[in-house]
A and B are shown apart, each in its own frame.
Chain A
């Protein structure tokens, strides 16, 4: 099992030549990242959290390139956008002819916390092999009114309720990190993410 924290690395291309479980995480960065899967039996999780404030602009490109059979990659990027922040995401799953029996997933979910926030999301797929299963999904919206209302009826005021919902939204990523990162790393990441909010 190995864990790569993109913020601490200068590399933008990562090649996976051996089977195994890998987890990649990034937090509030921009860049063009390539993940090349060149071995069967790779199980790759790519996780990302973006918290935009003021006039922050985050521009991320990710390529999940499967050049070997029987591997799996799973991307999950969560964005929370306040103020006039912008998030531009282009994700690509590319399955080469050599990538038979691949499973690849891609998910981008965004919470718009302000009227002036802007999201541009492009979850792309390019599939050249036939025996594969690939899905992608993206959702963008603001905090669910019904959830807020429910918490209000439990006498939790708006601001606190919002915080709870956001924590829940991010937990999907944090739970996986807790399993793969060292305790020291995890606490550091958790602190960074919460400070950003």
Chain B
């Protein structure tokens, strides 16, 4: 483990850059703040109305009574909108030095050089850097931030925005609908196959600042796109809230894969609503890795609306001291011949708690549909906890549903074998853990899976003291 030092994650990412703002809304939430956000952005009136309506719903809705402990969130102690100094920069060189440094440490430019189609980087709530490959433009693919999309493509946005996740879906969806800012907009025209993954890096870089990005992906008939979001956030002292909404429309025969690597700092509440609608013979895949944050509640869902649609959710959760990862998946079978597969792997260590919470519904008429759910959990010490809460509602007889789950600790025999081959205990443990999560890490882009393996290794060795 000579290179253990290089893997010190805190040293690498745990910094906070100096902040300068053009505009920062007052702490707390009320009608004036929502109005001023909308005014600052110069939005059309329907969006302002939508925001205000959502705000009312937010005030009316109760906090969820299940899941993780959210009692420490103080909605009045959060900035709902911050506009950074620089606005949209055209190229990498135009970015302010401090932002460039931040991204340099995250290794974006190199990754971009190698194989990224475009980097849509979010610094605080406004997208300040965005580079879209010419290749994408030639294909007719739109990949920009949500604020730009609202200005340049209002018709498309209006047609889809909030139709899959309406504001009254849940309290946090209502909050996002009222104060959303930034996020990505992706439109893939009919038959276009986007070969390179589209990436966006999100960062919360301001204390007590909640990030409320809004993402909308529309994949037209027969198209194919892979969207990747990765998060790394610096360490802070007080609570931060991240509450995003992601809506995905997968049209006939299209395929969308959405990969998330979530590594918020350990004071962030990560409460995200993600939903996709899959039409005839289309494929929707969520790959959801939750490593950071203090509390995550996130259940990517798929509505299988068209015949022969397929949905897949691969979920990975890692919880260490003070963390509760309450993650899972939801799949609704509305049409015949639909199939879904949910694979969840979770690891809890050093007092952490992981929960798998899932819902699979097979509605009447969804004949010949198949469901496979598998959740495996590893508990690495006696302080930690693991829960599994799957729910299956089956209203159609002509189906095939399977669910299985195991919870166990690392096998002593396996550890003994590796140690007899000259590895120390911690190396053996991290090898075993990396093997355990491999079915998921092999599905994510290379640089992420390398980072993930390192991170797990680092988190494991961290326990040596």
- Residues on A close to B: CB < 8 A? 97, 100, 110, 112-115, 117-142
Q: Chain A nearest CB: distance from B441 CB in Å?
A: 23
B463 contacts partner chain A, Cβ-Cβ < 8 Å: no
Within 8 A of A (CB), among B365-414: 377, 379-382, 384-409
**Contact call B401/A141, Cβ cutoff below 8 A:** yes
B407, A132: Cβ atoms closer than 8 Å = yes
A137 and B400 contact, Cβ closer than 8 Å, known pairs A122-B391, A125-B387: no
Residue B364 at the chain A interface, CB threshold 8 Å? yes
Which of B396, B401, B403, B409 sits near A115, CB closer than 8 Å? Answer: B396
Most B-side CB within 10 Å, residue of A115, A123, A140, A141: A140
Complex CA distance for A127 and B377, rounded to whole angstroms: 10
Q: Beyond the given A120-B392, A133-B407, A140-B392, please list 20 additional residue pairs across the A-B interface where CB-CB is below 8 A.
A: A97-B382, A112-B394, A115-B364, A115-B398, A118-B394, A120-B393, A123-B388, A125-B388, A125-B407, A130-B381, A130-B409, A134-B407, A135-B404, A137-B402, A138-B392, A138-B401, A138-B402, A138-B404, A142-B397, A142-B398
Q: Chain B residues with Cβ under 8 A from A139's Cβ?
A: 400-403
Q: How far is the CA of A143 from the CA of B389 in the complex (A)?
A: 27
Sample (18) of A-B pairs whose CB atoms are under 8 Å apart: A112-B399, A115-B396, A115-B398, A117-B397, A119-B393, A124-B387, A124-B389, A125-B387, A126-B385, A129-B379, A130-B380, A130-B381, A132-B379, A135-B407, A140-B394, A140-B399, A140-B401, A141-B401
Q: Which of B384, B387, B392, B398 has the most A CB atoms < 10 Å from its CB?
A: B392
Assign chain B's interface to a size class.
20 to 34
Which residues between 90 and 131 of chain B lie within 8 Å of chain A, taking CB atoms?
Answer: none
By a CB distance below 8 angstroms, the chain A residues around B395 are: 118
Q: Which residues of B contact A (CB under 8 A)?
A: 364, 377, 379-382, 384-409
Inter-chain contact A115/B391, CB cutoff 8 Å: no
Q: In the complex, what's the smallest C-beta–C-beta distance from B32 to chain A, in angstroms?
A: 44
- How near does chain B come to A96, taking the closest CB pair, in angstroms? 11
> How many pairs of A and B residues are in contact by the CB < 8 Å rule?
109
CB atoms of A112 and B397 under 8 A apart:
yes
Could you tell me if B387 and A127 are in contact, using CB atoms closer than 8 angstroms?
Answer: yes
Q: Which of B380, B401, B402 has the most CB of A within 10 A?
A: B401
Residues of A within 8 A of B396 (CB): 112, 115
Taking CB atoms, residues of chain B closer than 8 Å to A132 are 379, 407-409
CB-defined contacts of B399 to chain A, threshold 8 Å? 112, 140-142
Residues of B within 8 Å of A115, CB to CB, are 364, 396-398
- In the complex, the answer to whether B403 meets A130 with C-beta atoms within 8 Å is no
A26 to B395, CA, bound (A): 25
Measured CA separation A117–B395 after assembly (Å):
7
What residues on B are CB-neighbors of A141 within 8 Å?
A: 397, 399-401
Q: Does B387 contact A126, Cβ atoms closer than 8 Å? A: yes
Give the one of A130, A133, A142 with max B CB within 10 A. Answer: A130
Q: Which residue of A lies closest to B364 (CB)?
A: A115
Q: Do the beta carbons of A133 and B404 come within 8 Å of each other?
A: no
Q: Which residues in B have their C-beta under 8 angstroms from that of A135?
A: 404-407
Q: How far is the CB of A100 from chain B (nearest CB, A)?
A: 7
Most buried by B among A117, A125, A128, A135: A125
- B406 near A127 with CB under 8 A, answer no
Q: Which residue of A lies closest to B401 (CB)?
A: A140
Residues from chain B with a CB closer than 8 A to the CB of A123 are: 388, 390, 403, 405
Chain B residue with the shortest CB-CB distance to A107: B404
B385 touches A133 (CB 8 A): no
Which 3 pairs across A and B sit closest by C-beta, in order of nearness? A112-B397, A125-B388, A140-B401
Contacts of B388 in A (CB 8 A): 123-125, 136
Question: With the chains together, A114 CA to B379 CA distance in Å?
Answer: 41
A152 vs chain B, min Cβ distance (A): 18
Chain A nearest CB, measured from B405 CB (Å): 5
Q: How far is the CB of B394 from chain A (nearest CB, A)?
A: 5
- Please indicate the chain A residues that have their CB under 8 angstroms from the CB of B386 in the complex: 125, 127
Shortest Cβ gap from B377 to chain A (Å): 7
In the complex, the answer to whether B391 meets A125 with C-beta atoms within 8 Å is no
Interchain CA distance A119-B403 in the complex, whole Å: 14
Closest to A106 in B: B405
- A138 CA to B394 CA, complexed, in Å: 12
Query: With A119-B392, A142-B398 in contact, do A131 and B403 touch (Cβ < 8 Å)?
Result: no
Measured CA separation A141–B362 after assembly (Å): 11
How far in angstroms is the closest Cβ of chain B from A61?
14
User: Which residue on B lies nearest to A120, using beta carbons?
Assistant: B393
In the bound complex, what is the Cα–Cα distance between A128 and B409 (angstroms)?
12
CB distance from B283 to the nearest CB of A (A): 23
Within the complex, what minimum Cβ distance (angstroms) separates B429 from chain A? 13
Shortest beta-carbon distance from B327 to chain A in Å: 15
- With contact pairs A112-B397, A138-B401, A141-B400 given, residues A127 and B392 touching in the complex (Cβ less than 8 Å): no
Query: A131–B404 Cα gap in the complex (Å)?
Result: 20
Closest to B408 in A: A133
In the complex, the chain A residue whose C-beta lies closest to that of B391 is: A122
Q: Are A121 and B392 in contact (CB under 8 A)?
A: yes
Which residues on the B side are within 8 Å of A120 (C-beta)? 391-394
* Complex interface: chain A residues within 8 A of B404 (CB): 135-138
Q: A115-B364, A121-B392 are in contact. Are A127 and B385 (CB under 8 A)?
A: yes
Which residue on chain B has the smallest CB distance to residue A111? B397
The answer for the CA separation of A137 and B405 in the assembled complex, in Å, is 6
| A129 and B392 in contact, given A124-B387, A135-B406 (Cβ under 8 angstroms) | no
